[in-house]
């Protein structure tokens, strides 16, 4: 997950802010490891760091304390919004009071409690005013010349101030329909979404009601794509003729799309891709006449509770994966000369940069980085003797599989990786181990599941060393009886039968290129990217395989829906749901999408679901932080507040535990205006955070890793109540037991996640975006054209077909559960055939 730097935007009444970061990739992020300076270099650098040590250290401690205070306060506010109840208020009161016991919060807490009671614990504008006012208590205290601290002036929460605030908000509050609505016969009702679409007012209202947002989003590596800062005044006027055409194609009015940072028509038959960092986003908010607000930032999902039997079924297919690679240290060098410079002051001034610092093959690398995501079982290799299968196939995100660095991974442009990422000079940097983690299938429904410290009862775990069949390790590291690392022969050949392989990855998946649709120099040389991959894992034995796949195997082995029956297209693993079809959208029932993922437990600090546990660790905060940093929280797409209601017998609560989740109505990721929750990723999300998605590759000349940038592509669906964060990438979204999409990003500020549809039926924009049209594809079966004659190059079937025809002898004549007759061309299934 990319690191985000948050800059405040002034709210309508210059209120204090609650920052909710913009969308980020939700898998990777190096768990628990930050970039460090190589210890072997530290002695030479310490003398420089001693300069101005006292002032620098004091400022650093002060900044760190401010950051920690803000994080605690933001988490407390977010947790209260997720649990508006007497218990939620008590948790908030305890949390903010513990931040600084010297501050008198009595009046502010009384005002907040009174407003909550008057609203019957429903969110409204008054509550948000009071809630945001708490920031002013914790602002840095100015110091007098005699160094004595000056006390804060009390924050007044007067009725006059509240009335003025509400009056100004009423003028810009979201209007029209902003939430899903259904007719008496169960059909979706979507009122005209153009009438009240005003992105600037949406942003102003959000900033005033919930606090400021993100002005500039950069990563720890700077801004490699050369993007400009987002400017809210950088608006653009378009001719009315184009507005009318936009409406005819159900696309956002171009001026609104421009403000939101979408791709827009350039007026010359091409498409204009944004060139600034991502725009601050907004959730879908419905404001009633009495000031109550439905919707809020956050909506992280329901952690550690399985609501019903349909979600319990997903336990069989969803698996957490952690990919362990050798850690690449870094060092600080002069930006211009490349010479090493360790001065912290120079680094803070921007005169230096961090670069990778590699070690030689004979130096042991003791530290590893863990990249986490979610795998979904889709297939397995049939055995000749009918024994339990050991080779299995998992679908996930490409940016998760990006971390799988194994030998023999380079393919032919259809199977494998387009560019090898295997480090041949020092194999220790490659993938060492794979750690699998999943819920046991017998966990009870509607019961809070503990953390991983009780893993033996609630979770199945498995750790696999990546190696070939002869035992040669992929990363040249073995262990002795004392668990000490022993290096092998760095040049010993690794056989082409490793127990882990990338079958297909979504880089450059079509025959088209970005330059076909835009003339922009910044983008025209980039390639498309669909965030999916299929990974092959071969377990050592039947016991290992059954630990991870046993229930899925039992569930599917007697079914006939895997048979290659071309006359029955419904018997495929991918969903045929097409929400771009207006009739299907109208008849798409409420809460029909199901997803289970394994994000890091850290997001639960914002969801409020850790409040009781945190109290149990009073005085042991370091232990608490370690616990949640290393734990995972199986999470589903249901409202967070159900976490507190697992024992409720209230009929309305019991009703909420039924079924699945629904579409997000946030306009920040919606390109089909009157189809909320559906979007073309190339239009709404060509990139996330500070730029393009980067896929790693290895440069055999420099012996270093490099990155290739790509542009997001494909049909997307946005879900509500599923924005947990790191580790959730790759989570499958299911409709009627069929794989519908893959979660690849989330935005807790907009209260949405973004998923890539596994199948797209395509969409013709009738030249609105020049020659660009949303492509037709299926990630498992391909676009149905013979011998890959269509535009789609990559799919699971096409990759396996190419492998079976390649020099990789392990795939000759291969047959699988989904394709029991093999991968010859006459076995291709056209899922688009009516």
Q: What pairs with residue 318 in β-bridges? A: 376
- What's the rounded Cα separation, in Å, for the pair 105 and 395? 50
Identify whether the C-beta of residue 723 lies closer than 8 Å to the C-beta of residue 753.
yes
- Separation of CA 824 from chain center: 36
Q: How far apart are CA 576 and CA 307, in angstroms?
A: 26
Residue pair 569/780 in contact (Cβ under 8 Å)? The answer is no
Residue 216, pLDDT > 80, answer: no
Q: What is the pLDDT of residue 43?
A: 40
Residues sharing a CB contact under 8 Å with residue 416, sequence separation 6 or more, in sequence order:
409, 410, 501, 502, 503, 504, 505, 799
Helix 106-118 / helix 125-133 crossing angle, nearest 10 deg: 170
Cβ contact 340:469 at 8 Å: no
Q: Residues 769-801: pLDDT tens digits?
A: 999 999 999 999 999 898 878 899 999 999 999
CA torsion angle 166 171 176 178 (round to 10): -50
Report the pLDDT value the prediction gives residue 76, as an integer from 0 to 100. 85
**Which range among 114-128, 277-291, 350-364, 507-521 has the greatest average pLDDT?**
507-521
Tens-digit pLDDT profile for residues 223-241: 568 888 888 887 899 999 9
56: closest CA among 304, 342, 322?
A: 342
Contact 558, 567 (CB under 8 A): no
Average pLDDT estimate for 258-279: 94
CA distance linking residue 302 with residue 639, whole number of Å: 6
Q: Which residue has the higher pLDDT, 268 or 36?
A: 268
Mean pLDDT of the chain: 85
Is residue 55 very low, low, confident or very high in pLDDT (cuts 50, 70, 90)?
A: low
Alpha-carbon distance of 113 to 93, in angstroms, equals 10
* Residue whose token pair is 């006012």: 133
DSSP 539: -
- Under DSSP, the state recorded for 680 is E
Residues in the chain, how many?
A: 834
What mean pLDDT is predicted for residues 281-304? 88
* Closest to 257 (Cα-Cα) out of 747, 680, 670: 670
pLDDT of 18 strictly over 70: no
Integer Cα distance of 321 and 374 in angstroms: 6
pLDDT at residue 404 is higher than 70: yes
Query: pLDDT value at position 345?
Result: 60
**Lowest mean pLDDT segment, chosen from 51-60, 108-117, 724-733, 822-831:** 51-60
Task: Output the CA torsion sign for 631, 634, 640, 644.
Answer: negative
Higher pLDDT, 120 or 716: 716
* pLDDT greater than 80 at residue 142: no
Q: Residue range 664-675: average pLDDT?
A: 97
**pLDDT exceeds cutoff 50 at 188:** yes
pLDDT at 15: 23
Nearest Cα residue to 516 out of 136, 770, 222, 195: 770
Query: What integer pLDDT is reported at residue 214 of this predicted model?
Result: 36
**Closest by Cα among 186, 104, 116 to 151:** 104
Label residues 709-737 b or e (16+ Cβ within 10 Å = b). bbbbbbbbbbbbbbbbbbbbbbbbbbbee
The answer, yes or no, to whether residue 17 has pLDDT greater than 50, is no
Confidence of residue 571 (pLDDT cuts 50, 70, 90): low
Name which residue leads in pLDDT, 94 or 451: 94
9 pLDDT above the threshold of 50: no
Alpha-carbon separation of residue 96 from 3, 91, 106, 125, 389 (angstroms): 26, 9, 11, 21, 54
Residue 465, token pair as written in the block:
């060393």
**Mean pLDDT confidence for 252-266:** 97
Q: Could you read off the pLDDT of 423-450 as tens digits, one per residue?
A: 999 999 999 999 999 999 999 999 999 8
Q: Is the pLDDT of residue 38 over 70?
A: no
What would the pLDDT profile of 597-656 be if each residue is shown by its tens digit?
999 998 898 888 988 888 888 888 888 888 888 899 999 999 999 999 999 999 999 999
Residue with tokens 């088209």: 512
For residues 488 and 346, the model is more confident at 488
Specify which of 12-26, 129-143, 547-561, 721-735 reaches the highest per-range mean pLDDT. Answer: 721-735
> What's the farthest any 2 CA atoms get from each other in the chain?
86
* R_g over Cα of the chain: 27
Residue 340 has a pLDDT of 67
Mapping DSSP onto H, E and C, the string for 258-322 reads HHHCCCEECCCCCEECCCECCCCCCCCCEECCCCEEECCCCCCCEECCCCCHHHHHHCCCEEEEE
Q: Please, which pLDDT band fits residue 289 given cuts at 50, 70 and 90? A: confident
> What is the rounded (10 degree) CA torsion for 347, 348, 349, 352?
20
Q: What is the pLDDT of residue 453?
A: 58
In 327-455 the beta strands, taken as DSSP E runs, fall at 329-334, 352-357, 368-380, 391-396, 431-439
Handedness of CA 565, 566, 568, 572 (dihedral sign): positive
Buried b (16+ CB within 10 A) or exposed e, 87-110: ebbebbbebbeebeeeeebeebbe
Q: Can you tell me the distance from the alpha carbon of 476 to that of 268, in angstroms, rounded to the nearest whole number?
A: 55
H-helix or E-strand spanning residue 743: strand 738-747
Confidence at residue 373, expressed as pLDDT on a 0 to 100 scale:
96
Choose among 377, 342, 490: nearest CA to 425.
Answer: 490
List the alpha helices (DSSP H) in 747-830.
796-804
**DSSP label at 227?**
P
Using CB atoms within 10 Å of the CB of residue 183, give its burial: 0 to 12 exposed, 13 to 18 middle, 19+ buried: exposed
Whole-number Å distance between alpha carbons of 415 and 535: 11
Give the residue, 317 or 622, on which the prediction is more confident: 317
3-state class (DSSP) for residue 681: helix
pLDDT for 56: 54
193 pLDDT band (50/70/90 cuts)?
A: very high
Q: Pick 219 or 268 by higher pLDDT.
A: 268
* Nearest alpha carbon to residue 509 among 764, 738, 715, 677: 715
Asked if 632 and 598 count as a contact pair (C-beta separation under 8 A), the reply is yes
* Per-residue model confidence as pLDDT tens digits over 506-560: 999 999 999 999 999 999 999 999 999 999 999 999 999 999 999 999 999 876 5
Distance, CA of 603 to chain centre: 12
Closest listed residue to residue 639, CA positions, set 614, 657, 624: 657
pLDDT at 589: 96
pLDDT above 70: residue 60: no
Check pLDDT > 90 for residue 667.
yes
* pLDDT exceeds cutoff 50 at 20: no
Dihedral (CA of 339, 344, 350, 356) sign: positive
């Amino acid at each position: 997950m990319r690191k985000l730097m948050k800059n405040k935007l002034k709210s309508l009444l210059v209120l204090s802010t609650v920052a909710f970061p913009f969308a980020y990739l939700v898998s990777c992020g190096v768990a628990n490891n930050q970039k460090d300076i190589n210890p072997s270099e530290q002695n030479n650098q310490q003398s420089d760091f001693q300069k101005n040590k006292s002032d620098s250290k004091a400022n650093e401690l002060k900044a760190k304390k401010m950051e920690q205070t803000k994080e605690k306060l933001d988490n407390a506010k977010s947790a209260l919004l997720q649990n508006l109840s007497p218990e939620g208020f008590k948790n908030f009161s305890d949390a903010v009071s513990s931040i600084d016991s010297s501050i008198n919060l009595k009046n502010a807490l009384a005002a907040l409690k009174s407003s909550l009671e008057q609203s019957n614990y429903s969110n409204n504008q008054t509550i948000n005013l009071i809630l945001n006012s708490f920031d002013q208590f914790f602002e840095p205290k100015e110091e007098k010349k005699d160094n004595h601290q000056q006390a804060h002036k009390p924050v007044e929460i007067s009725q006059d101030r509240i009335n003025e605030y509400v009056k100004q908000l009423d003028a810009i509050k979201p209007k029209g329909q902003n939430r899903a609505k259904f007719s008496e016969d169960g059909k979706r009702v979507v009122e005209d979404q153009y009438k009240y679409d005003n992105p600037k007012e949406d942003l102003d209202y959000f900033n005033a009601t919930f606090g400021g947002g993100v002005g500039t989003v950069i990563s720890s590596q700077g801004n490699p794509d050369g993007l400009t800062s987002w400017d809210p005044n950088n608006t653009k006027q378009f001719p009315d003729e184009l507005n009318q055409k936009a409406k005819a194609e159900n696309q956002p009015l171009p001026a609104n799309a421009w403000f939101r940072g979408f791709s827009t028509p350039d007026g010359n038959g091409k498409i204009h891709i944004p060139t600034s960092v991502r725009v601050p986003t907004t959730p879908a908010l419905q404001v009633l006449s009495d000031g109550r607000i439905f919707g809020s930032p956050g909506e992280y999902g329901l952690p550690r509770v399985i609501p019903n039997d349909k979600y319990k079924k997903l336990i069989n297919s969803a698996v957490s994966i952690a990919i362990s690679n050798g850690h690449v240290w870094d060092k600080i060098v002069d930006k211009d000369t490349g010479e090493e410079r360790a001065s912290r002051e120079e680094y803070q001034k921007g005169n230096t940069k961090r670069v990778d610092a590699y070690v030689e093959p004979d130096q042991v690398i003791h530290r590893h980085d863990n990249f986490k995501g979610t795998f979904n079982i889709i297939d397995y290799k049939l055995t000749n003797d009918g024994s339990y299968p050991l080779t299995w196939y998992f679908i996930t995100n490409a940016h998760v599989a990006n971390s799988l660095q194994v030998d023999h991974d380079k393919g032919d442009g259809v199977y494998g990786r387009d560019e090898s990422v295997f480090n041949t000079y020092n194999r220790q940097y490659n993938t060492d181990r794979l750690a699998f983690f999943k819920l046991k299938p017998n966990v009870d429904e509607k019961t809070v599941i503990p953390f991983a410290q009780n893993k033996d009862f609630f979770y199945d775990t498995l750790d696999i060393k990546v190696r070939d069949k002869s035992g040669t390790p992929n990363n040249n590291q073995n262990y002795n009886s004392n668990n000490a690392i022993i290096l092998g022969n760095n040049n010993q050949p690794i056989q082409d039968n490793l127990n882990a392989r990338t079958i297909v990855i979504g880089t450059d998946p079509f025959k088209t290129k970005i330059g076909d649709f835009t003339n922009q120099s910044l983008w025209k040389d980039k390639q498309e990217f669909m965030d999916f991959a299929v990974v092959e894992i071969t377990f050592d034995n039947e016991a290992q395989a059954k630990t991870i796949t046993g229930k899925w195997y039992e569930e599917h082995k007697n079914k006939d829906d895997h048979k290659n029956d071309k006359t029955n297209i419904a018997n495929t693993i991918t969903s045929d749901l097409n929400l771009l079809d207006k009739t299907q959208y109208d008849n798409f029932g409420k809460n029909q999408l199901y997803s289970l993922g394994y994000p890091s437990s850290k997001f639960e600090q914002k969801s409020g679901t850790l409040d009781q546990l945190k109290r149990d660790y009073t005085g042991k905060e370091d232990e608490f932080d370690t616990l949640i940093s290393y734990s995972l929280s199986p999470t589903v797409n249901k409202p967070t507040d159900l976490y507190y209601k697992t024992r409720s017998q209230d009929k309305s609560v019991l009703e909420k535990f039924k079924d699945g989740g629904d579409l997000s109505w946030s306009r920040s990721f919606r390109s089909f205006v009157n189809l909320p929750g559906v979007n073309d990723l190339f239009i709404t999300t060509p990139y996330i955070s500070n730029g393009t998605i980067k896929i790693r590759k290895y440069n055999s000349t420099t012996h270093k890793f490099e990155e290739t940038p790509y542009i997001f592509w494909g049909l997307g669906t946005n879900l509500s109540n599923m924005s947990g964060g790191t580790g959730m990438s790759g989570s499958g979204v299911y409709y009627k037991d069929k794989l519908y999409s893959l979660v690849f990003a989330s935005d807790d500020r907009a209260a949405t996640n973004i998923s890539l549809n596994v199948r797209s039926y395509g969409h013709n924009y009738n030249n609105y975006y020049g020659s660009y049209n949303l492509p037709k594809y299926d990630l498992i079966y391909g676009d149905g054209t013979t011998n890959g004659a269509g535009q789609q190059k990559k799919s699971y079937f096409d990759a396996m077909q190419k492998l079976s025809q390649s020099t990789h002898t392990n795939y000759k004549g291969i047959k699988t559960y989904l394709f029991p007759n093999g991968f010859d061309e006459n076995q291709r299934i056209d899922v688009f055939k009516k």
